[in-house]
Amino acid sequence: MNCGRGAGAAWCSIDIILCAEATHAFDEPISITRFANEVARIFHPNGYLLWCDFCYMNGSGISTYDLIENDELIIEEKINITRNVLHALDIQPEEQEYFRLFAGFYGTQIYEDMSQRRSQY
């Protein structure tokens, strides 16, 4: 499929889009708006965006509410999976130290923010 690569994207439409752990890296608020607009543009009617990312509880960074700002996307179901994510991080082997900071293992700022409820998945 050429969708998303610029070739044929005008005619392309999609049933499901999965966005996992990407939007927190968007550098400015307009980026999430553009992302949500593009998602809405290429969806079939009643398409689904499956979105999973961490967001800070103090209002900084991206949240689900930024995704629905354009009124074209609606939240059908919202599940907080922070507890599951923390458990998965807790059971990771020590050999993966090189990945520790990126993934948010125990002792990192990402892990501490989630466990202190300053951010959630």
What's the rounded Cα separation, in Å, for the pair 26 and 91?
Answer: 29
List the chain pLDDT tens, one digit each, 121 residues: 344 454 455 556 778 989 888 887 777 778 888 888 888 888 888 889 898 887 776 666 666 677 777 677 888 888 889 899 889 878 877 667 667 767 777 888 888 888 998 887 7
What's the rounded Cα separation, in Å, for the pair 83 and 7?
Answer: 41
